[in-house]
Amino acid sequence: MAMARFAHWLLTRTSAAGAREALIGDLMEEIAQGRSSWCVLQELVGLYGFGFAAQARQSVRITPLFVALALGLLLVGAASIASLEQVVETWTSVYYLAGTVSLFAHVMSRSTASRTLMIADAGLGARDSGQA
């Protein structure tokens, strides 16, 4: 019951970091129906996490340094949960998969751009020869 009172106090006193009113209303209904404290806590974390992510997406500029720091924190967190061997194996797999997808995307974008350029050049050449 204390968790329900805390959740009610938190939701009425704060803006839930930009969360939609419908989500707050749904959580208040679940509290009124007698949800367990664990469920209410999970909902609160999700609600405020959603609001924080939305606010961060609008205000944070993603730079290479930010990406490197985020990946470093992810690796340190993973190493604290699993063995170093498992972390390195998983990271290598993700690295190779992401590199392969990136390579194919790059090749496709270059081939599409070159095809567009060739089509534009062919059209320009046809107009030039017709005018001469």
Query: Per mean pLDDT, which range of 1-15, 31-45, 76-90, 113-127 is the poorest?
Result: 113-127
Residue 68 lies in a domain: no
Residue 78 lies in a domain: no
Residue 43 lies in a domain: yes
Residue 110 lies in a domain: no
DSSP state of 16: G
Residue 51 lies in a domain: yes
Amino acid identity at 18 = G
Query: What's the structural domain count of the chain?
Result: 1
Alpha-carbon gap, residue 104 to 44, rounded angstroms: 41
pTM for the whole structure: 0.38
Query: Per mean pLDDT, which range of 8-12, 30-34, 52-56, 87-91 is the poorest?
Result: 8-12
What would the two tokens of residue 127 be? 């107009």
Alpha-carbon gap, residue 126 to 121, rounded angstroms: 9
Give me the phi and psi of 20, to 5 degrees please.
-70, 145
Residue 86 lies in a domain: no
Mean pLDDT comparison of 38-52, 56-70, 78-92, highest-scoring range: 78-92
Question: Which residues span the domain enclosing 24?
Answer: 2-60
